[in-house]
Amino acid sequence: MLPGVRNATLGSHIPMGPGSQWDRVTPIGIETTEPLSVMCDSVEAGYFASMATDVVKGRAFDARDRPGAPGAAIINQELARRFWPNADALGRQIQFGVGKRAAVLEVIGIARNGKYQATIDLPAPYIYVSFPQQFRSNMTLFVQTADDPLSLAPTLRREVQSLAPDVPVYGIHSMRETFDAHGLLASRIMAQMVGATGLLLGVAGLYAVVAFGVARGTREIGIRMALGATSGSVRRKVLTSGLKLAIIGGALGVAAALALTRYLREFLDQVNPQDPAAFVGVSILLLVVTLAACWIPARRASRVDPAITLRYE
């Protein structure tokens, strides 16, 4: 083992990474209409310990699962529930693949459900097969390190090339980089869309309320201007009214957000749900947007002609 390396293993799919591999799986002894398309991962013995993936029932792969030995598979809890909802999945047989490449595998373990493509994934069927028995040409080397993983990248590249000069080594990334770039992508896009939609609805609602108030107060504004009020004072009055609404709404929103953070902790990774900088930043943003939303009604109110307004009334 290289200095600084705690564990190393092989797998064909990067958790939360780009792309995925799928295979057709059919339970043997159960009538089904067609094979189920399932995400698949060909892994080496030691994968589950290295990747901190719990095998909650049965065993993980080991030296017994070699070429020529009876085919073995480890399925996740969701696939076990799909195929054998009222029975024990251990020891059951499945047909892995279709046609000439189909193989009969025995379920030797059940792994805990996980997130395989994105943080927002619902529980999905997943199957692990033994790499020595189900060879894949495109594999990923997972290395658990004691320090910064990327600092060992040159050493690992040289080591792999010294062992297998013809094997290309590319795409060296930390799991944190992969998680941020791919695992959180769908959540980030959804959050941005929801945030932008909420902001637009809030601005539109605030503008409508302020504009309606200005329209109803046209006579009052005309009288004030007839008595000597300046355009600037009228604008300030309208902007102040809008800011009062924004401050009240912002205070209620912050209180509600603080109350709901306890339910959001499980969905956040290395993020403080009560981060003061986030609350202050959003509050400032809302105040700026409020001023922008109130500016048009305020400008319109400051241009009221008192003579026309009073004559109309």
pLDDT tens-place string over residues 17-71: 877 788 899 999 887 667 899 999 999 988 998 888 999 999 999 999 999 999 9
pLDDT in tens, 115-156: 888 777 788 999 999 999 999 888 888 888 878 878 788 888
For residue 30, is it within any domain? yes
Q: Of 135, 156, 175, which residue constitutes the final position of a domain?
A: 175
Q: Which residues pair with 40 in a beta bridge?
A: 127
In terms of domains, do 24 and 159 share one?
yes
Q: Of 139, 154, 175, which residue constitutes the final position of a domain?
A: 175
In terms of domains, do 168 and 189 share one?
no
Residue 143 backbone dihedrals phi, psi, to 5 degrees: -125, 125
CB atoms within 10 A of CB 70: 12
Closest Cα to residue 12, out of 27, 22, 2? 22
In terms of domains, do 155 and 21 share one?
yes
In terms of domains, do 245 and 294 share one?
yes
Q: Do 203 and 285 touch, CB atoms closer than 8 A? A: no
For residue 129, is it within any domain? yes
In terms of domains, do 87 and 20 share one?
yes
In terms of domains, do 196 and 170 share one?
no
In terms of domains, do 270 and 227 share one?
yes
In terms of domains, do 90 and 168 share one?
yes
Rounded Cα distance between 110 and 114, Å, is: 12
Count how many domains the chain has. Answer: 2
Q: Which residues pair with 24 in a beta bridge?
A: 37
Q: Of 175, 206, 240, which residue constitutes the final position of a domain?
A: 175
The model scores a pTM over 0.75: no
Q: Do 214 and 297 touch, CB atoms closer than 8 A? A: yes
For residue 204, is it within any domain? yes
Domain ranges, residue 243: 185-312
pLDDT at 269: 55
Q: Do 127 and 11 touch, CB atoms closer than 8 A? A: no
pLDDT at 106: 96
Rounded Cα distance between 267 and 236, Å, is: 43
For residue 180, is it within any domain? no
In terms of domains, do 194 and 307 share one?
yes
- Which residues make Cβ contacts (< 8 Å) with residue 167, sequence separation at least 6? 160, 161
User: Helix, strand, or coil here: 3?
Assistant: coil
Q: Which amino acid makes up residue 14?
A: I
Q: Tell me the HSE value of 113 on the side-chain side, using a 13 A CA sphere.
A: 12
Helix %, strand %, coil % of the chain (to 5): 50, 15, 35
Angstrom distances, CA of residue 263 to CA of 122, 188, 249, 257, 259: 18, 18, 22, 10, 9
Q: Which amino acid makes up residue 164?
A: A
Residue 26 backbone dihedrals phi, psi, to 5 degrees: -130, 130
Instruction: Name which of 9-23, 204-218, 256-270 the model is least confident about.
Output: 256-270
Q: Do 143 and 11 touch, CB atoms closer than 8 A? A: no
For residue 289, is it within any domain? yes
For residue 227, is it within any domain? yes
In terms of domains, do 22 and 48 share one?
yes
Rounded Cα distance between 270 and 77, Å, is: 27
Rounded Cα distance between 79 and 21, Å, is: 16
For residue 160, is it within any domain? yes
pLDDT at 103: 92
| pLDDT of 310 over the 80 cut | no
In terms of domains, do 28 and 91 share one?
yes
In terms of domains, do 194 and 142 share one?
no
Instruction: Name which of 67-81, 93-107, 116-130, 158-172 the model is least confident about.
Output: 158-172
Mean pLDDT of 72-77: 96
Rounded Cα distance between 108 and 57, Å, is: 8
User: Helix, strand, or coil here: 40?
Assistant: strand
pLDDT in tens, 112-126: 999 888 777 788 999
For residue 235, is it within any domain? yes
